[in-house]
Chain A
Amino acid sequence: MAMACFDRASPALKKTLLELHSAEKPVEIDQHIHEFNAVRYHIQSSDSEPFLAHLSISTPLLSEEFSRSHGLSFDAAQMIRDIRTDDAIEIVEPAKEGYQLTLRIHLSKIPRRKESVKIIAQISTVQAVLLSSQLKEMLRTMNFTSKEQVHAVMHKPIRLVYQQREPFFVIRQPTKITAVFPMRFKEDSDVIIATAFFQELMDVGSREGWAKAPLCTWSPIPPPELRGELLEDLSTNCGFVSFDITARRIKGKKLDKMVWSLLNFHAFVKHHVKCTRGFIQRRMRKRLDNLIEILRNKGGPEEEEEEEEPNNEPGGCGCMRSLAGTSRSKATLERRRRSLFSNKIRYSIKVRGWVRFRHRLSKISKFSPRLRYPKLD
């Protein structure tokens, strides 16, 4: 799915950093980039510090309560360490006011080869790492909770907000963790298309061969685990989608993919609904063309008459001209007969029933106007 919001790397940030890196002379820049879901970047580079750029990143907190106590996550710090080449990137402590992370990037230390594109692409994904690390930490903490604590925290959903007005919940249960997404759409047709999609999602997930995927369920009413939550969070028009996450999914590389998929679930569904509406529109347009073509085909042999006499065409759309040409007036029949014997008409299109029609007409017109009768004295 080639959609900007599903890419981890920010395209605007990547482009700006590549331009800065490839500039031959030091460039002074003070640029703010705002992206969807309240993501902000601030890039600064001045003449006094050539080939040195400061990048500040602000990403929404999924859960205020959880993130405050953990600061910069282990995953984010590890990722920044991994992309450091010759200390090209340093973490600035403390971060700039209003931002969660500030990086100092030594552009001159980034190699000027194809690797530079890869490194800059990795820097552009820092925001995605910051965001997904919050959920990863949360899931790991929930998973390693002791049995006594499980009983205490069970049935206490954690409310996470990634996209504005679209919270989702994560609930710890004895053998699994459940992520519940309340779904809302503005239009009724979107609700119906999305509902059909959720039913297919449930159907596909329950088949053989998909045992490794988390179990997906959809219900029109809130699950019992969400009892006690705010009414505005539970009032939806498209039901609730739940994913059951088992312990083996919270290990290794699978966790990263799963977390990113869950964070982008709302955007994914909305993108699918939008594409489906476009698909329906395209099909309708094509069908309209077919229906109009049917009208034209029903016109049949009368179409050739229009080439000779364009002035007599009735008003309206061209698609009805052929049907309109089937007038039963005698003058029209006479004109038609004359046109059949005219050498000017070239039949480039094969018309069904034409041979039979011509044969019938030739039987009618036995009188030839060229015949001359001898004058009687």
Chain B
Amino acid sequence: MASTLRLYSTCIRNTLEAAMCLQNFPCQEVERHNKPEVELKTSPELILNPVLICRNEAEKCLIETSINSLRISLKVKQADELENILTKKFLRFLSMRAEAFQVLRRKPVPGYDISFLITNYHCEDMQKGKLIDFIIQFMEDIDKEISELKMSVNTRGRLVAAEFLKQFI
């Protein structure tokens, strides 16, 4: 399972390295405006083909590129209902604090759990390699955190159940 994760991460990393070639491009529709083309999708000549990388049916990554921006959407695995609500809560929590991460999108793309929006300005201010490292590590940390949260909730439940039943003894 660790090997499939490594392959998945490597594939995403290589795709990001190839896709993250962004340059400044003013909006063609509105004068003196500069908008991320991947969000608007008004000019097909500025949008590249999106790449979908699937680890399995439940986990996938969609990378959409344009001339001046890149959008990465992640779908995290959710094995049961508890993981489902924990993932929703946690990723919503992070999305609401998107200004702390700058590259995080406040709302995920429909069909995905979390999305990043990287523009040419981010690439000018930050190092491309470190941005990619951050995204890969973020992805791995989310999986780890959800698993730990689930285990903690179940452990708490077990301890509380034992305390409740002790009253009868």
Binding site for B on A (CB under 8 A): 1, 188-189, 192-193, 195-197, 199-201, 203-205, 210, 212-214, 216, 249, 254, 257-258, 261, 268, 272, 276, 279-281, 283-284, 287-288, 290-292, 294-295, 298, 314, 316-317, 319-320, 323-324, 326-328
Q: Output the nearest chain A residue to B144 by Cβ-Cβ distance.
A: A287
A298 touches B100 (CB 8 A): no
A196 touches B90 (CB 8 A): no
A210 touches B165 (CB 8 A): yes
B158 touches A283 (CB 8 A): no
Q: Output the nearest chain B residue to A283 by Cβ-Cβ distance.
A: B149
Chain A residues with CB under 8 Å of B14's CB are: none
A294 touches B134 (CB 8 A): yes
A9 to B13, CA, bound (A): 62
Closest CB of chain A to B149's CB: distance in Å?
A: 6
B154 touches A200 (CB 8 A): yes
A196 touches B153 (CB 8 A): yes
Flag the segment in B27-35, B79-87, B105-113 that touches A. Answer: B79-87
CB of B58 closer than 8 Å to a CB of A: no
Interface size on B, residues (CB 8 A): 44
B85 touches A192 (CB 8 A): yes
Given A197-B161, A316-B102, A212 contacting B130 (CB threshold 8 A): no
If over half of A's interface residues share one DSSP class (helix, strand or loop), that class is named, otherwise mixed; here it is helix
Closest CB of chain A to B128's CB: distance in Å?
A: 10
A205 touches B165 (CB 8 A): yes
A294 to B133, CA, bound (A): 10
B160 touches A272 (CB 8 A): yes
CB of B127 closer than 8 Å to a CB of A: yes
Chain B residues with CB under 8 Å of A316's CB are: 99, 102
Chain B residues with CB under 8 Å of A295's CB are: 101, 134
